[in-house]
Amino acid sequence: MRALLDIQDLKVHFHTRDGVVKAVDGVSLKVEAGQIAGIVGESGSGKSVTAYSLLGLIPMPPGRIEGGKALFQGTDLLRLGERELNTYRGRKISMIFQDPMTSLNPYLRVSTQLVEPLAIHEKLRGKPALHRAIEALEQVGIENAATRIHGYPHEFSGGMRQRVMIAMALITKPDLLIADEPTTALDVTVQKQVLDVIRELQRETGTAVIFITHDLAVVHEMCDTVSVLYAGRVVESAPAAELIRRPLHAYTRGLYRSNPSAHAKDEDLYSIPGLPPDLARLPGGCTFRPRNTLGVASLCLTERQPELIEHSPGHFVQNCPGCLAAHPSSAHA
């Protein structure tokens, strides 16, 4: 069966004064209909740029899509003009953003903003549209939706606003929802509720989700498959259950070791040393080599870039011998 979304070798570069920043440099991933696909990585690993490029939200210039395809139901989204993209945006693909405090227009009532996608994509207006909007708010668990819908965004708390965003994104029943770190800006107590809302609605509507996060714990709660991004490339990609059982790449192992919830009380929490590389001056070869302390850095590729290979069925990993090797002193890991 054809995947709902098939990103092949996507390259998005930013041409800045400091040189060409290779924010996304050959990302491939697939999203099956009705599944939740996680994208994990540090800040600047290219998670959000990947998602933004699907909807044509990369500012150009300085951004430029240098290559690759993003086949959505067989159509390459990267080749679409603004007008054609607008028939996908908000109708077949919707997005929720990181910071719910700023992603609603402070000058318009929530009701006005909620019915906007309906007016554009379904030509639904007036009372029927308002009813749909109230329904959508009820679905995301907002009480007294019929009165609250007439409020302004500043009358809602952060968690409530993110619910409003989710309602707005799903009101047209899209086939794909892109969630760009939807809980990062929220209180921990609210995070769980918002995640539950997303998962519940996903099950109900069968919408596929691209879930972008840097929180591995969240990934395992939410996702069916996970792609780990580092320096604009996929270093490892596998079904979520497989990845937690058998992380192969040194970076993925590092991410798990540095996760407080999965670590034993008596040992020090691991942290990956150093900083993500400067994307304008990427070293040749394996980009993770300078920070590789869980593998054998001396074995890392220096001449050519490692490639993604299928290590076992469904489990892809970059074939860099240094990153795949186990560290000599941590044979038990």
Partner 1 sequence: MGKPSINPDAEAGHSLWSDAWTRLRRNRAAMCGLAFLGFIILLCFIVPFFPALPDPAAQSLPNKNSGPSLSHWMGTDHLGRDLFSRILHGGRISILVGLITTTVSLTIGVAVGAMAGYLGGKVDAFLMRTVDVLYSLPFLIIVILFSALAKGYTNDFTDWLVDLTGLNRDAIAPFTSLIPLFVAIGALSWLNISRIVRASVQDLAGREFVEAAKSLGLSQQRILLRHIIPNAIGPIVVYATLTIPSVMLFEATLSFLGMGVQPPYSSWGILIKDGADRMLSNPLLLIFPSIFFILTLLSLNFLGDGLRDALDPKSAKD
Nearer to partner 1, 165 or 222 (CB): 165
Token code pair at residue 245: 């059982």
Considering only residues 74, 81, 82, 267, which one is a binding residue for partner 1 as defined by CB under 8 A? 82
Angstrom CA distances, 221 to 36, 213, 215, stand at 11, 12, 10
Q: Report residue 31: phi and psi, to 5°.
A: -125, 120
2 makes contact with partner 1 (CB under 8 A):
no
109 makes contact with partner 1 (CB under 8 A):
yes
249 exposed, middle or buried (CB, 10 Å; 0-12, 13-18, 19+)? Answer: buried
Considering only residues 86, 184, 205, 319, which one is a binding residue for partner 1 as defined by CB under 8 A? 86
DSSP string over 32-46: -TT-EEEEE--TTSS
Nearer to partner 1, 54 or 320 (CB): 54
Nearest to 240 by CA among 222, 260, 215: 222
Q: How far apart, in whole angstroms, are the C-alpha atoms of residue 85 and residue 54?
A: 9
Binding residues for partner 1, how many (CB under 8 A)? 44
Q: How far apart, in whole angstroms, are the C-alpha atoms of residue 210 and residue 94?
A: 10
Nearer to partner 1, 132 or 315 (CB): 132
Among positions 204-243, residues that touch partner 1 (CB under 8 A) are none
Nearer to partner 1, 145 or 294 (CB): 145
Q: How far apart, in whole angstroms, are the C-alpha atoms of residue 201 and residue 236?
A: 28
Q: How far is the CB of 95 from partner 1 (least distance, A)?
A: 4
Q: Which residues of 36-68 are buried (b: 16+ CB within 10 A; e: fewer)?
A: bbbbbbbebbbbbbbbbbbbbbbeeeebebbeb
Q: Which positions from 165 to 204 touch partner 1 by CB under 8 A, shown as an x/- string?
A: x--xx-----------------------------------
Nearer to partner 1, 119 or 262 (CB): 119
Q: How far is the CB of 74 from partner 1 (least distance, A)?
A: 20
Q: What does the binding site for partner 1 look like in residue numbers (CB under 8 A)?
A: 55, 57, 61, 82, 85-91, 94-95, 97-99, 102-109, 111-112, 115-117, 119-121, 125-130, 150, 152, 154, 165, 168-169
